[in-house]
């Protein structure tokens, strides 16, 4: 269940950061400071409605020298609807319909159901997801200390790496790093550090498509016949 929480947790970070991909030009190498980057992020949020992308999720436990990688696809629609499908061998579907979180395991014929608002344990990851998808930068500053860690260039792309440190000492994560692509103003890479870096979760998004038509039916989970519904916190 913990793995499911931090995956959902990560995706609520994206909404503040999305607008429209623009061509990056080395002819205009003016670097932005943190306030400039955050201002671009805020502007991007006003135009963002839907997102579709391929996803790669990697979880590394450094002490055990263990790494697990999963790949899949995600669809997101404002304000709080998510469809996240992981391909085999993980073979798992996560759906957020605005009221409930469903984590479906087809092979086991089981689905975990969490109520988003009433149960703090089931929704703690979604709070972070909301930061990216619906909260303003000013609102995020109330919960995180945000700094511009560094700037990197890879090929023709430039990334501003923001570090978010939760102000709540009980947070699951010690640090969160966002790789925000210049001109796109979306974090295409999200790094979540647990236990002071002993566990590292990395989400990478590729083939991103914004503001395309997306039916609400995609975010409705109708349990197939024979599937057991489990509500862990009831």
**What confidence tens digit (pLDDT) does each residue in 193-217 have?**
998 889 999 999 999 998 998 999 9
Is there a contact between 206 and 186 (Cβ–Cβ < 8 Å)? Answer: no
Segments making up each domain of the chain, as ranges: 2-230
Distance between first and last Cα of the chain:
15
- β-pairing, 50-61 vs 66-77, is antiparallel
**What confidence tens digit (pLDDT) does each residue in 53-74 have?**
999 999 999 999 999 999 999 9
CATH architecture of 2-230: Clam (2.50)
- What is d(CA 54, CA 207) in angstroms, rounded to the nearest whole number? 6
Rg over alpha carbons for the chain, rounded to the nearest Å, is 18
User: With 70 as the cut, is the pLDDT of residue 192 above it?
Assistant: yes
Concatenated DSSP letters for 163-216?
Answer: EEEESSTT-S-SEEEEEEETTT-SEEEEEEEEGGGTEEEEEEEEEEEES----G
The total of other beta-carbon atoms located within 10 Å of residue 132's CB is 24
């Amino acid at each position: 269940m913990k793995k499911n929480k931090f995956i959902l947790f990560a995706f609520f970070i994206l909404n503040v950061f999305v607008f429209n991909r623009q061509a990056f030009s080395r002819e205009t190498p003016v670097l932005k400071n943190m306030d400039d980057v955050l201002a671009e992020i805020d502007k991007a949020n006003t135009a963002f409605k839907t997102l579709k992308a391929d996803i790669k999720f990697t979880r590394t436990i450094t002490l055990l020298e263990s790494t697990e990688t999963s790949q899949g696809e995600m669809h997101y629609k404002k304000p709080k609807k998510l469809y996240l499908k992981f391909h085999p061998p993980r073979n798992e579907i996560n759906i957020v319909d605005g009221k409930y979180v469903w984590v479906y395991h087809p092979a086991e014929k089981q689905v975990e159901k969490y109520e988003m608002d009433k149960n703090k344990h089931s929704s703690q990851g979604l709070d972070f997801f909301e930061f990216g998808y619906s909260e303003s930068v000013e609102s995020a500053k109330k919960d995180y200390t945000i700094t511009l860690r560094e700037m990197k260039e890879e090929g023709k792309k430039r990334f501003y790496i923001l570090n978010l440190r939760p102000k709540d000492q009980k947070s699951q994560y010690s640090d969160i790093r966002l790789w925000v692509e210049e001109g796109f103003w979306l974090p295409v890479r999200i790094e979540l550090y647990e236990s002071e870096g002993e566990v590292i979760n990395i989400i990478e998004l590729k083939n991103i498509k914004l503001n395309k038509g997306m039916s609400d039916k995609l975010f409705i989970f109708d349990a197939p016949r024979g599937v057991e519904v489990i509500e862990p916190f009831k």
